[in-house]
Amino acid sequence: MTPVDIMGKVVKLASNIQWKHFHIRDIPVAIYDGTTTWLFGHADPGEPFAALDGHPHVFRLFRHKTVASRRKLTD
């Protein structure tokens, strides 16, 4: 499962939340998969992030300096 798949499931699950004015897509999320930092929900993070073709508001970068992880995502 890729970070894009994970965020797709998060968005789908969040669609059931009945909190007034809550929209999961309004909250930027960074996922580090052991190689790449995936950034979701940010309007324009700028350099050095690169937009992912076919996915609006999804950007990637090889490990951003502010992201720390002790565990790699696995299938």
Domain range list for the chain: 3-62
Higher pLDDT: 6 or 64? It is: 6
**What is the spatial distance between Cα 28 and Cα 58, in angstroms, rounded to a whole number?**
10
Q: Cβ distance 59 to 39 under 8 Å?
A: yes
pLDDT tens per residue, range 20-64: 787 777 788 888 887 888 889 888 888 888 888 888 778 888 665
Q: In angstroms, what CA-CA distances link 32 with 8, 36, 43?
A: 16, 6, 19
Tell me phi and psi for residue 22, to 5 degrees: -95, 125
Q: Are 41 and 29 in contact (CB under 8 A)?
A: yes
pTM reported for the whole predicted model? 0.67
pLDDT of residue 42: 86
For residue 7, pLDDT beyond 80: yes
